[in-house]
Structure 1
Amino acid sequence: MSPFGYWEGRPTAMPADLAVIGLGQLGLPLAQAAVSAGISTLGYQCGDPAPLAAADQRRMLSTGFRPATNPAELGRVRTAVICAPTPRGADGALDLGQLADAARTLAAHLRPHTTVILESPVYPGTTEEFLRPLLEEGSGLRAGRDFHLAYSPSRVDPGNRDHTPANTPKVIGGLTPACTESAAAFYGRLTDKVVRARGPREAETVQLLETNYRHVNIALVNEMAVLCHDLGVDLWDVIRCAETKPFGFQAFRPGPGVGGHAVPRDLAGLRTRSLRMVELAQQVNNHMPQYVIQRAATLLNEHGKSARGARVLLLGVTYKADHADQQGSPAKEIATRLMELGAAVSYHDPLVPSWSILDRPVPRVDSLYEAAADADLTILLQQHRTYDLQGLSVKAQLLLDTRGATPTGAAHRL
């Protein structure tokens, strides 16, 4: 099988306007948006591909998308966007290894006048200090003179039907004004609005700010959830009332932890200074799975049961509602801790047909209502739209809602 799996055997000889390097959570949506806009697009895989339904695969292939396994094809496009994964390494810093591999592969085939754009999450300065030398050394060309180089923070929100690539503004920061304009001309074909940053560092820092803004505010409401439970205050009612304020407030909601690919970054990789608030937010958010376990054990105890031997059903094990991705989902840690306490854990998720924890398969229930009625404790971790939460609250012996999605008074809320 080819590195593309489901793209096996498709022709790749025709030229294309765009090459997307990396078809993961960032690159695949970009490729889909590009072919939808009528841009002939090559996909060159690096890292793990994002899952794609068969119908979507056929639609992309019929509207101008082609997978490429020969890197020489990268030299036949006008624009190349690098969407290589940059996961956390063992030291907590971003691992740029796959980005380096993608850059070297592109550099070996880079032609003059090509526009190269980086979308991978990186630290400020990466485009100029890390990517640029790799491209110049491998190609013999000079960025800003022989080819255009820019950074654009990815703004992908999987499953969001209201904010699509077409109506989500794109930020562009080029090495030179000409680089910015060349990148802006490309993104202008995909989106209604292009926002020009002063340069690559500013554009890179936009993503840093946007990502950390989310994590810091989630950490605040997570701490409020713990506080309000201790005080006997209904946090969900507090948020409902607070979000009526038309200025100076944006509603965030607590949960069992924070998942997804946009990990918070405290600048440790820059070896200059850290963002103390981000460090604290990470500590708060990382503690939430343990807090869910504490609440679960307390609820079981209040109903005369011990966590050891208890039948616990987990509902929704993905990191986001109605989305199959499990990257960073708190469900894994919660299941692990429950098993370590001796609980018998099962799960239900309409998007996850099989699931393993500690190298052991977790039983997947088929009859949701019967399983909830049989379980000593049911924990809602993700509110997929297919869940009838009113019906579940009636059937379940004991229901812990970590998302505040059940009707008021129908369950124990986080």
Structure 2
Amino acid sequence: MAQAAQHFIARVRDRSVVIGVVGLGYVGIPLALAALRQGIRVVGFDIDQARVDQINAGRETIKHIPMDLIVEGLANGRFEATTDFDRMAEPDALLICVPTPLSRHREPDLSYVVKTTQEIGKRLRKGQLVVLESTTYPGTTDELMRPILEQATGLASGTDFYLAYSPEREDPGNAQFGTSDIPKVVGGDGPDALAMADALYAALVVRTVPVSSTATAEAVKLTENIFRAVNIALVNELKQVYAAMGIDIWEVIDAAKTKPFGFMPFYPGPGLGGHCIPIDPFYLTWKAREFDIATRFIELAGQINTEMPYRVVDRLAELVDSRLRRSFSGSRILVVGLAYKKNVEDMRESPALKLIELIESRGAQAAYHDPHIPAIRKSRKHGALAARASTPLTAESLAGFDAVLIATDHDEVDYTLIVAHAKLVVDTRNACARHGLAGETIFKA
């Protein structure tokens, strides 16, 4: 092992190593907290000055993530956030946690990774470890990042600096599994890079899972989320079939999951949301085309999941027409739940945003209620919805809507109030049944 690698590992063990976290969002902040818990100094980098100022003031940036350790780190000098990328030479390791969205044509948008790598390349010094955590296609670390860093510096990966990939495995709002509780897959560009990254993450999480290459580690992340996307597509399709037969898919799943082997429960919904499952499968389908391989199974799952908001709005319109005896065009719909999953404020790729747009495209009026999202934040795909405010959930407000569409099943929502005062309830999450509510106005979709 090279002397630089040995020195890095020794610094990890005595907690004198300094970590730089690039991207202070849903992945970067929890990662910084995991390091701070181990007494490791962290410098956080972000391009958003307002976010950096908020963090440095000790104010909450993500609702479900406590700021206690950040505040303590700010006080004792073990943490600070900055927009000054010239300081990237300070940390011994730079961990990249930036977005990897899809383009308008559903192709990988690695512009954030490229720009971050270019910024690192301007300051990279010998002995530094650079780790990408963002979800991407196999080959990104080796084929995209390494050439940028080597060409910018004249340094060689595996000799002068070290490059690795370790996919994030965050599950926002999961109280049982935080960053430190989840095993970390690690792949390195060479044995020294692997040893360094493995030692670093071993200090932060319960267990590491070293693999043979960065491409393998990249493939692990995609496999995890494609597995979920495909199985969600399966239950979404089964929901349509069983509904036509008069069978409740939720009852079927609850009974099936009593089998102690050979079955894992997945649940239907109004579409996929979040920063991983709606996006990651398309990273692999795009890369597979380079090898003349068609990923038909994955693409079919993507098609089924993408169609779900359209199916939900079709069902909603049908029920407004048949049960309320009025045209869907001109009706008023309250969408309950804007976040992509329950009990969080994360609205990235949320199907609720698409539902609102589809409802309004058919001439109806849409409003939303979400206890975690007081106003819709600006996004690339749904910019026209920005700044809309959450509607208070009261008996009076419910009386003003023709139907309530439950898109996200937050625990804080008063479903009893909804059922008591709504003219029509269309439930995509089985929330009413799980709260023991039944009635002639409740329908599943």
Per the normalisation by structure 2, the TM-score is 0.85
SS in 1 for 2:179: coil
Shift of 1:264: 3.1
| 8 Å Cα contact 2:335/2:366 also seen in 1 | yes
How far, CA to CA, are the matches of 2:105 and 2:328 in structure 1? 34
| CA offset digits 1:56-87 (Å, max 9, x no partner) | 45641422221123222111211111112221
| 8 Å Cα contact 2:337/2:408 also seen in 1 | yes
Q: Match of 1:134?
A: 148
Within-5 A mapping of 1:63-142: 63=73, 64-142=78-156
SS in 2 for 1:236: helix
| CA offset digits 1:198-230 (Å, max 9, x no partner) | 111110100110111111111111111111111
Q: Match of 1:375?
A: 401
Q: Match of 1:260?
A: 274
Higher helix residue share: 2
- Pair 1:376–1:91, CA change in 2 (3 A): closer
| 8 Å Cα contact 2:47/2:83 also seen in 1 | no
| 8 Å Cα contact 2:186/2:208 also seen in 1 | yes
Shift of 1:185: 0.7
Q: 1:312 aligns with which of 326, 330, 333?
A: 333
How far, CA to CA, are the matches of 1:125 and 1:86 in structure 2? 14
Q: Percent identity?
A: 35
SS in 1 for 2:131: strand
Q: 2:360 aligns with which of 339, 345, 360?
A: 339
Q: Match of 2:11?
A: none
Q: 1:324 aligns with which of 320, 327, 345?
A: 345
How far, CA to CA, are the matches of 1:78 and 1:355 in structure 2? 38
| CA offset digits 1:370-401 (Å, max 9, x no partner) | 32233211011111110122332222221111
Question: Mean Cα displacement is larger for which, 293-302 or 263-272?
Answer: 263-272
Q: Match of 1:18?
A: 19
- Pair 1:176–1:286, CA change in 2 (3 A): same
How far, CA to CA, are the matches of 1:367 and 1:281 in structure 2? 35
Q: 1:197 aligns with which of 208, 211, 235?
A: 211
How far, CA to CA, are the matches of 2:383 and 2:112 in structure 1? 27
Q: Match of 2:10?
A: none
Q: 1:297 aligns with which of 311, 314, 317?
A: 317
How far, CA to CA, are the matches of 2:125 and 2:146 in structure 1? 15
SS in 2 for 1:86: coil
How far, CA to CA, are the matches of 1:47 and 1:198 in structure 2? 36
| CA offset digits 1:139-158 (Å, max 9, x no partner) | 22111111221111110111
| 8 Å Cα contact 1:316/1:348 also seen in 2 | yes
Count of residue pairs brought into register by the alignment:
400
Shift of 1:190: 1.0
SS in 2 for 1:111: coil
Question: Mean Cα displacement is larger for which, 260-269 or 173-182?
Answer: 260-269
Q: Match of 1:233?
A: 247
Q: Give 2:338's aligned amino acid.
A: V
Q: Give 1:38's aligned amino acid.
A: G
Shift of 1:173: 0.7
- Pair 1:321–1:186, CA change in 2 (3 A): same
| 8 Å Cα contact 1:47/1:98 also seen in 2 | no
Q: Match of 1:54?
A: 59
> What residue ranges of structure 1 are gaps of 5+ in the alignment?
1-14
> What residue ranges of structure 2 are gaps of 5+ in the alignment?
1-15, 61-65
- Pair 1:249–1:83, CA change in 2 (3 A): same
SS in 1 for 2:409: coil
| CA offset digits 1:256-299 (Å, max 9, x no partner) | 11011111324343222242111111110110101111110111
Q: Match of 2:429?
A: 403
Q: Give 1:352's aligned amino acid.
A: I
Please tell me the root mean square deviation across aligned C-alpha atoms, in Å: 2.2
Shift of 1:46: 4.3
| 8 Å Cα contact 2:373/2:390 also seen in 1 | no
How far, CA to CA, are the matches of 2:393 and 2:301 in structure 1? 38
| 8 Å Cα contact 1:376/1:397 also seen in 2 | yes
Q: 1:279 aligns with which of 280, 284, 299?
A: 299
Q: Match of 1:10?
A: none
How far, CA to CA, are the matches of 1:401 and 1:196 in structure 2? 43
SS in 2 for 1:195: strand
Q: Give 2:339's aligned amino acid.
A: T
Q: Match of 1:174?
A: 188
How far, CA to CA, are the matches of 2:362 and 2:136 in structure 1? 38
Q: 1:269 aligns with which of 251, 267, 286?
A: 286
Per the normalisation by structure 1, the TM-score is 0.91
| 8 Å Cα contact 1:150/1:172 also seen in 2 | yes
- Pair 1:86–1:358, CA change in 2 (3 A): closer
Shift of 1:319: 0.8
Q: Match of 2:176?
A: 162
| 8 Å Cα contact 2:138/2:218 also seen in 1 | yes
- Pair 1:367–1:404, CA change in 2 (3 A): closer
Q: Give 1:116's aligned amino acid.
A: V
How far, CA to CA, are the matches of 1:338 and 1:363 in structure 2? 17
Shift of 1:358: 7.0
- Pair 1:143–1:47, CA change in 2 (3 A): farther
Question: Mean Cα displacement is larger for which, 75-84 or 367-376?
Answer: 367-376
- Pair 1:196–1:16, CA change in 2 (3 A): closer
| 8 Å Cα contact 1:264/1:278 also seen in 2 | no
Shift of 1:183: 0.3
Q: Give 1:220's aligned amino acid.
A: L
